[in-house]
């Protein structure tokens, strides 16, 4: 398997698939395509006739693009890794909440681009704009608290796709000093402590690329 991703410091969609594969112990090679620095991602898109976006997975001659499709593919190829929970009702909840991340939370995504190595603070106006998204995340975490599920620190007990989908939200909440809920804080602590997340952070900290538009969106503290 070969995973194409972009900047570890900034590329939230790359992190989602990468962390899912690492925590599930799925072996893969990776290539970083820094799309603001050269045309390597455009060339990949042209080569496979797909959008010039990461992540992209190459597996046994198949090209799989878009983070959620990649993770569905992995769940099918590796059923024993339980990327989706075993319980049908928990699986439905995990799928809905993963899809909601995929298509929603636009204000949070725009105001707080993922930036693993910086601490920033938003203006009052920006905070007001994302308040609804933060409240929605708190409500989703409360839903997971209220259902029957296996033991564990993650949304469905064991780490799975739904946790991977919200991994960049962990960096946003910590990095911009946002307030969601105590349940979210417990989950974020477990996410950050994952050795695989620390591996990602170490690589992000070593990257030399700096994207001005991601840095200028809020004040660094």
Ligand X SMILES: N[C@@H](CCC(=O)N[C@@H](CS)C(=O)NCC(=O)O)C(=O)O
Name which of residues 99 to 128 contact ligand X (CB under 6 A). Answer: 102
Give the DSSP letter string of 66-79: SHHHHHHHHHHH-G
Comparing CA positions, the residue from 141, 171, 174, 152 lying closest to residue 14 is 171
CA–CA distance from 95 to each of 61, 98, 128, 191, 197 (Å)? Answer: 27, 5, 28, 19, 22
Contact present, 71 and 17 (Cβ < 8 Å) = yes
- Tally of helices (H runs) and strands (E runs) in the chain: 10, 6
- Which residue in 4, 9, 19, 35 binds ligand X (CB under 6 A)? 35
Applying CB under 6 A, does 144 fall inside the site for ligand X?
Answer: no
Applying CB under 6 A, does 54 fall inside the site for ligand X?
Answer: yes
Using the rule CB under 6 A, give the single segment among 66-74, 92-100, 136-144, 210-218 that binds ligand X.
66-74
Residue number, 15 or 149, with CB nearest to ligand X: 15
Residue number, 18 or 149, with CB nearest to ligand X: 18
Using the rule CB under 6 A, give the single segment among 7-15, 20-28, 78-86, 134-142 that binds ligand X.
7-15
Binding site for ligand X (CB under 6 A): 6, 11-14, 35, 52-55, 66-68, 102
């Amino acid at each position: 398997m070969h995973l194409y991703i972009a900047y570890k410091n900034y590329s939230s969609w790359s992190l989602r698939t990468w962390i899912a594969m690492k925590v599930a112990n799925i072996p893969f090679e990776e290539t970083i395509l820094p799309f603001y620095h050269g045309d390597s991602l455009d060339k990949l898109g042209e080569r496979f006739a797909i959008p010039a976006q990461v992540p992209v997975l190459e597996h046994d001659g198949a090209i799989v693009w878009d983070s959620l499709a990649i993770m569905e593919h992995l769940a099918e190829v590796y059923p024993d890794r339980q990327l989706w929970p075993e319980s049908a009702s928990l699986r439905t909840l995990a799928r809905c909440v993963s899809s909601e991340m995929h298509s929603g939370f636009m204000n949070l995504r725009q105001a707080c681009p993922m930036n693993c190595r910086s601490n920033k603070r938003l203006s009052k106006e920006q905070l007001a704009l994302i308040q609804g998204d933060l409240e929605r995340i708190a409500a989703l975490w409360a839903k997971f608290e209220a259902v029957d599920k296996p033991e564990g620190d993650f949304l469905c007990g064991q780490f799975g796709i739904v946790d991977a989908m919200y991994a960049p939200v962990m960096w946003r909440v910590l990095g911009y000093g946002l307030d969601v809920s105590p349940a979210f804080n417990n989950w974020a602590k477990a996410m950050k402590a994952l050795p695989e997340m620390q591996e990602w952070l170490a690589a992000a900290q070593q990257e030399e690329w700096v994207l001005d538009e991601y840095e200028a969106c809020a004040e660094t503290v």
